[in-house]
Amino acid sequence: MNTRMEYAMKKQANYTRNFVFLYLIQYTTFAMISSQRQSFLNDMGYSLTERSLIFAMIPIMTIVMQLLVGFLSDKYDTVKKIIIPLVIGSALTSYLFYSVTVQLYVFHFAIALLSQSFVVSATDLMDVWVLESDGPSKNSYGFIRAFGSLGWSLGSFFIARIVFMAGYEGLGLTILLLSILIMILSITIVDNKKQRATHEMKQSVKINDIVTLFKDKHYLLAIMVVFAANLAVGLAGFTVVEKMLTLGANTFDLSNRNMIAAGVEVPLMLIGDQVYRKMGSVKMLLIAISVHTLQFVGYMIAPSNTHIILITLGQVISVPFFNIAIKYLLMHMSPADLKATGQMSGPAIVNGVHGFIHPLIAALLINNYTVNAPFIISIMLGLIGIYLVLMIRKNESRGVI
């Protein structure tokens, strides 16, 4: 009996290692797909208005995709069978996006929407896979996610080198090859959600269940935190790239900033689960949003790209604390039979809304005022996010949630 239990735990530990490699490759690919898109469109000669319209419409498609993915995952009790088609879709559309290096606005517009929605949905579903897995993996999300940050850092480092050596076509081919590795790694990991479904009687998830989820005021409060914080971060992130381009940044400068931004997240991601168990999600969110807000102030007054890169180092705290805390908070506030829906549908909607809004706001403010104007909105949203987290803490102290 003991030997059988030890073997089972060993197999579970092996899945944790597989998740580590899966996140490493997935986020390396994610970085190559996403972080160069703005620079690529600029190199193709598209205007700020044309670029901002693409980035504004991407989240609309992403909302639909994430709602569908979360719903299907809960309805059919599977993760793996959904992730693999998403990876194939992201690989093919991203290859097409970067392989066409002439101005075809409608083509780049449509393919960008599909490419980003596929890769975001696949990445978010991997988080659900980890948090709903059996064994030690579900208690090691921060550790596993740290390798995602490492992967993003590696992808950001290599992306400029690949474009320099092989052009954007070479970048598209690299994405295809890495996606094959992602599919192979996905096959090696057990689908615990499917296994549990064969042993448990479970009602099918219905649209009404999603409506019920959004009627929960505590869940909505958490989602409002996600909206305020991510709108602030998204607006600042878009504006930082435009400001760096204004200050003379090239592909290598943008690549190096992305590499540093992701790399500094790794240390706290590695121990993030231990920090969460000691501090809880509320304290972590307060610290994370406060540091983000200070970064927005720094970006606004930064006189050079060097200063912007130095301010980016604040992500050593802001990003890992926020990502880990919000995942656990949404997991805690979602019903047992709606874990995937609760973690994907709510964030999908609010992130889609802010994703639609923030490029348009940034373009409007930059064109009519200065490149620093959007940071003022980010600062205000950061303060709103802090207030909302304090409301959650008040509810916790009263035993309401």
Lowest mean per-residue pLDDT among 214-218, 308-312, 378-382: 214-218
The pLDDT, as a whole number, for residue 376 is 97
Q: Please compute the mean of the pLDDT values over residues 148-154 and round it to a whole number.
A: 90
The pLDDT, as a whole number, for residue 201 is 39
**Within 13 Å and on the Cβ side, how many CA atoms surround 296?**
27
Res. 7: pLDDT tops 50: no
The pLDDT-based confidence of 322 (bands split at 50, 70, 90) is very high
Q: What percent of the chain has pLDDT over 90?
A: 50
The pLDDT, as a whole number, for residue 172 is 95
Higher pLDDT, 148 or 203: 148
The pLDDT-based confidence of 202 (bands split at 50, 70, 90) is very low
Q: Assess contact for 271 and 142: CB atoms under 8 A.
A: yes
The pLDDT-based confidence of 298 (bands split at 50, 70, 90) is very high
Give CA separation, 335 vs 70, 162, 205, 216, 397, in Å. 14, 45, 12, 10, 21
Q: Assess contact for 47 and 101: CB atoms under 8 A.
A: no
Mean pLDDT score of the chain: 86
Q: Please compute the mean of the pLDDT values over residues 58-67 and round it to a whole number.
A: 84
The DSSP call for residue 264 is: T
Return contacts of 250-253, CB within 8 angstroms, 24+ apart. Answer: 251/36, 251/39, 251/43, 251/160, 251/163, 251/164, 252/160, 252/164, 253/305
Res. 22: pLDDT tops 70: yes
Q: Please compute the mean of the pLDDT values over residues 341-356 and round it to a whole number.
A: 74
Backbone angles phi, psi at 119, to 5 degrees: -70, -35
> Rounded to 10 degrees, what is the CA torsion of 154, 156, 158, 161?
-160
The pLDDT-based confidence of 194 (bands split at 50, 70, 90) is low
Give CA separation, 295 vs 122, 225, 233, 285, in Å. 29, 18, 10, 15
pLDDT tens-digit map of 214-245: 777 888 888 899 999 999 999 999 999 999 99
pLDDT tens-digit map of 136-149: 777 788 889 889 98
Lowest mean per-residue pLDDT among 46-50, 288-292, 377-381: 46-50
Domains of the chain in start order, with CATH, are 2-397 (1.20.1250.20)
The pLDDT, as a whole number, for residue 198 is 41
The DSSP call for residue 399 is: T
The DSSP call for residue 203 is: P
